Amino acid sequence: MLDFLWNLGSFIIALGILITAHEYGHFWVARRCGVKVERFSIGFGKAIWRKVGADGTEYVVAMIPLGGYVKMLDERVDDVPEALKSQAFNRKSVWQRIAIVGAGPMANFIFAIFALYIMYLIGVPSLKPVIETTQPNTPAAVIEVKQPQQVIAVGDQAVRNWEEVTYALVGHIGDDNIDITLAPLSGLMGQERTYRLDTRQWQFDPEKQSPITSLGLGIYRPEVSPTLAFVSEDGAAYAAGLRVGDILVAIDGQRYSQWDGFVEQIKAAAGKTVKIIVQRDGKPLQLAVTPKSRTGENGQIEGVIGVAPTQAPWPEEMRLQLEYGLGESFVVAADKTWQLVSVSIKMIGKLFTGDVSVKNLSGPISIAQGAGSSATYGLVYFLGFLALISVNLGIINLLPLPVLDGGHLLYYFIEVITGRPVPEKVQEIGFRFGAAMLLMLMSIALFNDFSRL
């Protein structure tokens, strides 16, 4: 219940910030173009707060936080007194109308730069993308790793941490190959090597795995000891008597040798009782544990007991602090925003070509979970989440569907070319089609959200 409330609260805050930025873009440019704004509303439905400003605009916060709007004086909607007709939206030039409508998505891109700018000023603790193995029978099997290697580029895009590697790989979904450049951790010039991975048979399901592991790249992890650092009070291990500090000795008569092997044995024992021997206070102790069942990444039922081992600290040379000065932070934030825009546009294109399944569309439930998760990790990660969603909100609003900003822009550009407005009857048909398309996409996204629960 607490998780639900945390996710809901984080979602409302995130959505409120992003909607405010989007609608303020419309509002600000409309005022600069001489359009009278009657209402600036964050949310729909019954108002929970309202105030009329000195400019005559009614500012509203409404009950349903799933959108917002800027109500402008418009003769096509209401009767406008003769004295105010010059301030009506429909009386403005086509280029002014284009500027007003396009300002909403543009504000989302500007906000993303701002959020990332603050994030990089604060500093982002990160890890260098280092691999230590590759998996056989995967695209990455062509890479021979004799010692830990750092991924420094994916295609022609330089990468500094695993997040950037992930975004770069996602942008290549559907391509026949991916170039990955590696270098020793020493960073000596001239020792870089680029490998071309054949990805024609690359099977990647974003719901169940990361693009990194699905390619077969084995992420470097510090040494793991058999001492338990975490035992979930809701897990099967705690119920059976395992506690933090216990040292794993054996499972079903086999001595403990490595953590991965232990995990595989637990996964294979879903619903079956296993005997685990641990050392506690210098004495051996045998406990009977029945792993709970869950659906794994491959769709199969696997066992889980709710424990985690003690992990050695990350080597200092693999740690990375993405922190910049006042000027450089802006450059890095703008570049990062452009990367997010590029990846998002590519993903939308791949949805239409079939390279990415519509099953990967996410709706408000997934966004709420993402908001809650990022907020849990702290302000820096929440800012990164806001930037990502803001970019996606801006791009979605630019899609040429008549109910979205992009649809209105399409009509106005047709007006620029033809010299006359698109007939209202044609616009009405377009709005109905756009509403149907948007409803269909939202239904798919919501269905995907519920299927992931």
pLDDT score for 360: 62
d(CA 125, CA 411): 46
> For position 314, what pLDDT does the model report?
86
Distant-in-sequence, close-in-space partners of 436: CB < 8 Å, separation ≥ 6: none
Percentage of the chain modeled with pLDDT above 90 = 39
The residue with greater pLDDT, 202 or 87, is 87
Which one of 23, 82, 323, 424 is the catalytic residue?
Answer: 23
Q: How many Cα atoms within 13 Å fall on the side-chain side of residue 321?
A: 7
Say yes or no to pLDDT of 189 above 60.
no
pLDDT tens track for 154-180: 988 888 888 888 888 888 888 889 999
| Tens of pLDDT, residues 207-237 | 667 888 888 898 888 888 899 999 998 899 9
Is the pLDDT at 448 greater than 70? The verdict is no
Mean pLDDT of 78-89: 87
More confident residue, 45 or 115: 115
Taking the model in full, what pTM does it have?
Answer: 0.78
| CA–CA separation, 242 and 236 (whole Å) | 9
Query: Among this protein's residues, is 223 annotated catalytic?
Result: no
pLDDT of 356 reads: 63
* Beta carbons of 42 and 26 less than 8 angstroms apart: no
Higher pLDDT, 366 or 214: 214
Please name the CATH architecture into which domain 124-222+313-322 falls: Roll (2.30)
Q: Which residues contact 231 (CB under 8 A, 6 or more apart)?
A: 237, 238, 242, 243, 244, 246, 306, 307
CATH architecture of residue range(s) 224-311: Roll (2.30)
Instruction: Let me know if the fold of 124-222+313-322 is the same as that of 224-311.
Output: yes
For position 402, what pLDDT does the model report? 80
Distance (Å) of CA 211 to CA 126, 353, 369, 437: 19, 19, 20, 30
Per DSSP, 374 falls in state: H
Where exactly are the structural domains of the chain?
106-121+324-453, 124-222+313-322, 224-311
Q: What is the pLDDT of residues 369-422, one digit of tens each?
A: 777 777 787 888 899 899 989 999 999 899 888 888 998 999 999 999 998 988
Query: What is the predicted pLDDT for the residue at 266?
Result: 92
Is residue 323 scored above 60 in pLDDT?
yes
Neighbours of 299 (CB within 10 A): 8
Residue 267 vs residues 40, 130, 214, 225: alpha-carbon distances, Å: 54, 27, 19, 19
Q: What is the pLDDT of residue 180?
A: 92
Look up residue 209 and give its two tokens: 């795995």
The predicted structure's pLDDT at residue 298 = 60
Do the Cβ atoms of 311 and 229 come closer than 8 Å?
yes
With H, G, I as helix, E, B as strand and everything else as coil, classify residue 277. Answer: strand
Among the residue ranges 44-58, 129-143, 313-327, 424-438, the one predicted with the least confidence is: 424-438
Cα 30 from chain centroid? 31
In three-state form (DSSP H/G/I as H, E/B as E, the rest C), the secondary structure along 156-217 is CEECCCHHHHHHHHHCCCCCCEEEEEEEECCCCCCCCEEEEEECCCCCCCCCCCCHHHHHCE
- At 233 the three-state DSSP class reads coil
Mean pLDDT, rounded, of the chain: 86
Residue 3 phi, psi (nearest 5) = -60, -40
pLDDT score at 357: 64
Per-residue pLDDT reduced to its tens digit, 336-359:
999 889 888 887 777 776 666 656
Confidence of residue 83 (pLDDT cuts 50, 70, 90): confident
pLDDT digits (tens, 9 = 90+) for 282-309: 999 999 999 998 876 566 788 999 999 9
What pLDDT does 188 receive?
A: 56
pLDDT class of 47 with cuts at 50, 70, 90: confident
